[in-house]
Amino acid sequence: MRLLILAFSVLTSLMPVAGHAEDAAEAGSETSFFEQAGAAFQDVLLSALSLSGTPYKFGGNSPETGFDCSGFVRYVFSQAANLTLPHGARAISQLGKSIPVDQLQPGDLVFFNTLKKAFSHVGIYLGEGRFIHAPSSGGGVHIVNMNDAYWAKRFNGARRLDEQPTQPVTQSLADTPSE
């Protein structure tokens, strides 16, 4: 129930003030991220949230076997956006464009140094300082606040993937282990 409330909270906080995009445009309101980015990223967020509680497994890449951090991100983007990402947080960190933390939007990827090397962990930003990820401890896929001391001091950066990919990204970088 708590997950449903959080998902509803995240989604409604990102919707325009008016009920429809046309009404929002007529009222002079800014459009929401979902209207700008399209349905693909809304699907990414919903897909990620639906996997909450899936157990951690090193090298895991499916809900049936469990996920590691990059396996979780790869699975979500594959299922929800038809985008094929490389395995490994480091390899994923080479995709898209770098964005400053103050410009994070839901669906962006956030990276952390959790193994004493840069870009060793990845998650999906949800909004309001929260991200969803598959940590190696903590009960599987879940949402955390990236401003918590542990995550804040390990933050490496964020990337935004193409909002409307024209063709899948294929694995072109060497696999690197991730958490």
- Provide the pLDDT confidence category of residue 118 given band limits of 50, 70 and 90: very high
* Each residue's pLDDT tens digit, 67-81: 999 999 999 999 999
Q: Is the pLDDT of residue 168 over 80?
A: no
Active site residues: 69, 121, 133
pTM exceeds cut of 0.85: no
Higher pLDDT, 40 or 158: 158
On whether residue 17 sits in a domain, the answer given is: no
Q: What is the pLDDT of residue 137?
A: 79
Residue 93's domain spans which residues?
38-160
51 part of a folded domain: yes
The total domain count for the chain is 1
Domain of 72: which CATH number? 3.90.1720.10
140-149's contacts with Cβ under 8 Å and 24+ in sequence apart are 140/52, 140/53, 140/54, 140/55, 140/56, 140/66, 140/67, 141/48, 141/51, 141/52, 141/53, 141/54, 141/56, 141/67, 141/72, 142/52, 142/53, 143/6, 143/52, 146/110
pLDDT of residue 30: 53
Say if 5 falls within a structural domain.
Answer: no
